[in-house]
Chains A and B, each alone.
Chain A
């Protein structure tokens, strides 16, 4: 049951296969037996050694600034999941919070990869920061960057550098520059909030004292589709991040929710009851119905495109209980995907299209699962956590997910590493957060 412990010891292995069986003592209707074979080929973290910081400035506080920048960078690198930091951190550099001990090893050698950071003075509030990631054995520079850093807002450059390093070393998209939109209880309503992937820069987006729910990023991370209420009616809106204006998309009688974007950003999948029953429709951004995709007397909801836009995963209780299905973009070839349990919902396709995360009920609690996109190999991601775990959304790296969970007694957002099941809280305090969605990475948007 302890994925993180098992994978934590896998530093040398390229493939780690684990088996575990959960056999509940008391059988319930929704009891599931998980017999799982987990392949974790990417569970190896590349060790990086951080060289002593070089401060070439006589400005007051330059040493602290260098340590602060290095602290932020180390946190981004560790939280990417791709690296471990070998040997002791340089003086003044803080270890990142919420990180397993073995991700920061003081005994392991750094191998050949060394990070050299230099801070040189410019003005009191601006400094030049030089970063080199060196392959010492082959005498090669893997990454070399120079930034002019505003010390009042240093994170932007640090996040950029971290993503550069992730891409240079692994070829993967980094998540350091991504953001998460979600819904938080405020007064009697719920408002949309935006937060950086590391929990910084939390800010409120809507202020209409209504319920604002289920926000979904457009593929270019410029717009957010969400459901809100006005005058006792539910309606679907799209918020333009540039103008700050929300435009109404649909306001049919009854349900107007879902709002999953097509990969090209031109269409949305929604659940409407305009024909007297919850059915899935494909609409354009003007709210024009392009196609009705389901025709059942049951509940049809939770539609989401795959990354190609050719397939759709959704939930239907046509068999009596909610289960996850797939269909083509035009509604053809419907097929049930989830095979276990009596309550499965909230499917989300991974960025590569190879997996689907979803929510299942198990022993009366709700957990996030990940299965192959054909429905096989369901893996429980949160089964060893307390409480309920819901609302999964993938990070653009296809490795992390954000979920809502009341595992510590308060429903807040958590980031989970799919490879290791490692989890860290994203939001804090006495909150009630749900419905998160993870933005695309600006790196991926540039096509690099």
Chain B
């Protein structure tokens, strides 16, 4: 499941888009779909699907201005565009045992693949998020989440991913991926999640 940190610019874009498509949906419902209320709640309906697919587009208000009537301080030659961003690589998360910050064999294999994808990507900044399951105290889990993220960061750096591009943050047990009190849910929540972005 794709997931992004709530504090990133990407997510603000996502929120904006969500409002935008929500508005579209409301207009649509008001103008013609009023007799089909199930369209509003169906998670697989068109607008909702579009929203999730388009998380990574450039925000509308940051796109270059293609309006031919606007003249930017007399430069008839226009403004140079930057290189379009190369799409971010898809990397996998690393999972941990209960109360542990040890990266197991499966985790090491995941990190070797991640490192291969990230090593040469100087345009990508890596934020490693440490997460814990809900069993345990908030304070100790906060430190444990930090240890998980640090263990992953060190492993990546040892695999020649530049240290300057890898940061860590711990969310302790405060931001679970999955709700629930089953061992499956707990296992999903004990992880190091990668939050990739362009630039610094």
Chain B residue nearest to A322 in the complex (CB): B140
Neighbouring A residues of B137 by C-beta, 8 Å: 302, 322, 345-346, 359, 366, 390-391
Chain B residue nearest to A411 in the complex (CB): B134
Shortest Cβ distance from residue B117 to the other chain A in the assembled complex, whole angstroms: 20
Judging by beta carbons under 8 Å apart, are A189 and B140 in contact? no
B151-178 interface with A by 8 A CB criterion: 167-172, 174-175
Chain B residue nearest to A390 in the complex (CB): B137
Check if B138 is an interface residue, CB within 8 A of chain A: yes
Check if B81 is an interface residue, CB within 8 A of chain A: no
Check if B139 is an interface residue, CB within 8 A of chain A: yes
Judging by beta carbons under 8 Å apart, are B7 and A232 in contact? yes
Q: A211-B171, A435-B138 are in contact. Are A254 and B195 (CB under 8 A)?
A: no
Shortest Cβ distance from residue A183 to the other chain B in the assembled complex, whole angstroms: 8
Judging by beta carbons under 8 Å apart, are A299 and B147 in contact? yes
The residue that B146 contacts in the complex, of A190, A231, A273, with Cβ under 8 A, is A273
Judging by beta carbons under 8 Å apart, are A255 and B143 in contact? yes
Shortest Cβ distance from residue A123 to the other chain B in the assembled complex, whole angstroms: 47
Shortest Cβ distance from residue B19 to the other chain A in the assembled complex, whole angstroms: 13
Q: What string of 1s and 0s marks CB contacts (under 8 Å) between B120-161 and chain A?
A: 000000010000000111111011101100100000000000
Shortest Cβ distance from residue A148 to the other chain B in the assembled complex, whole angstroms: 44
Check if B58 is an interface residue, CB within 8 A of chain A: no
Neighbouring B residues of A232 by C-beta, 8 Å: 5, 7-8, 127, 167, 169, 195
The residue that A210 contacts in the complex, of B7, B140, B143, B168, with Cβ under 8 A, is B7
Judging by beta carbons under 8 Å apart, are A229 and B140 in contact? no
Judging by beta carbons under 8 Å apart, are A234 and B169 in contact? yes
Interface magnitude class on chain B: 20 to 34
Check if B6 is an interface residue, CB within 8 A of chain A: yes
Judging by beta carbons under 8 Å apart, are B140 and A301 in contact? yes
Neighbouring A residues of B135 by C-beta, 8 Å: 364, 366, 388
Neighbouring A residues of B140 by C-beta, 8 Å: 299, 301-302, 315, 317, 322, 343, 345
Check if A257 is an interface residue, CB within 8 A of chain B: yes
Judging by beta carbons under 8 Å apart, are A213 and B167 in contact? no
Q: A232-B195, A366-B136 are in contact. Are A209 and B6 (CB under 8 A)?
A: yes
Chain B residue nearest to A347 in the complex (CB): B139
Q: A211-B175, A232-B127, A299-B144 are in contact. Are A315 and B139 (CB under 8 A)?
A: yes
Shortest Cβ distance from residue A432 to the other chain B in the assembled complex, whole angstroms: 9
The residue that B167 contacts in the complex, of A253, A391, A434, with Cβ under 8 A, is A253
Check if A233 is an interface residue, CB within 8 A of chain B: yes
Judging by beta carbons under 8 Å apart, are B146 and A434 in contact? no
Neighbouring A residues of B144 by C-beta, 8 Å: 299
Neighbouring B residues of A189 by C-beta, 8 Å: 6
Docked Cα-Cα span, A28 to B52, in Å, equals 45
Check if A188 is an interface residue, CB within 8 A of chain B: yes
Q: What string of 1s and 0s marks CB contacts (under 8 Å) between B185-196 and chain A?
A: 000000000010
Chain B residue nearest to A387 in the complex (CB): B181
Judging by beta carbons under 8 Å apart, are B143 and A278 in contact? yes
Shortest Cβ distance from residue A96 to the other chain B in the assembled complex, whole angstroms: 31
The residue that B138 contacts in the complex, of A299, A322, A361, A391, with Cβ under 8 A, is A391
Docked Cα-Cα span, A233 to B168, in Å, equals 8
Neighbouring B residues of A231 by C-beta, 8 Å: 7-8
Q: A231-B7, A299-B144 are in contact. Are A343 and B136 (CB under 8 A)?
A: yes
Q: A255-B146, A299-B147 are in contact. Are A390 and B138 (CB under 8 A)?
A: yes
Check if A165 is an interface residue, CB within 8 A of chain B: no
Judging by beta carbons under 8 Å apart, are B139 and A258 in contact? yes
Q: A210-B6, A211-B174 are in contact. Are A434 and B143 (CB under 8 A)?
A: no
Neighbouring A residues of B172 by C-beta, 8 Å: 213
Q: What string of 1s and 0s marks CB contacts (under 8 Å) between A252-283 and chain B?
A: 01110110000000000001010000100000
Chain A residue nearest to B169 in the complex (CB): A232
Q: Which A residues have a C-beta under 8 Å from some C-beta of B?
A: 183, 188-190, 209-211, 213-214, 229-234, 253-255, 257-258, 271, 273, 278, 299, 301-302, 315, 317, 322, 343, 345-346, 359, 361, 364, 366, 388, 390-391, 434-435
Q: Which B residues have a C-beta under 8 Å from some C-beta of A?
A: 5-8, 127, 135-140, 142-144, 146-147, 150, 167-172, 174-175, 195
Top 7 closest pairs, chain A to chain B, by CB: A345-B137, A302-B139, A299-B143, A278-B143, A345-B140, A232-B127, A346-B137
29 CB contacts below 8 A, A to B, read A209-B6, A211-B171, A211-B174, A229-B171, A231-B8, A232-B127, A232-B167, A232-B169, A232-B195, A233-B169, A234-B169, A254-B146, A254-B150, A254-B168, A271-B139, A271-B143, A299-B143, A299-B144, A301-B139, A302-B137, A343-B136, A345-B136, A346-B138, A346-B139, A361-B136, A366-B135, A366-B137, A388-B135, A434-B138
15 further A-B contacts with Cβ under 8 Å, apart from A299-B147, A302-B137, A435-B138, are A211-B175, A229-B169, A229-B171, A231-B8, A232-B169, A254-B146, A254-B150, A254-B170, A255-B143, A258-B139, A299-B144, A301-B139, A343-B136, A346-B137, A391-B137
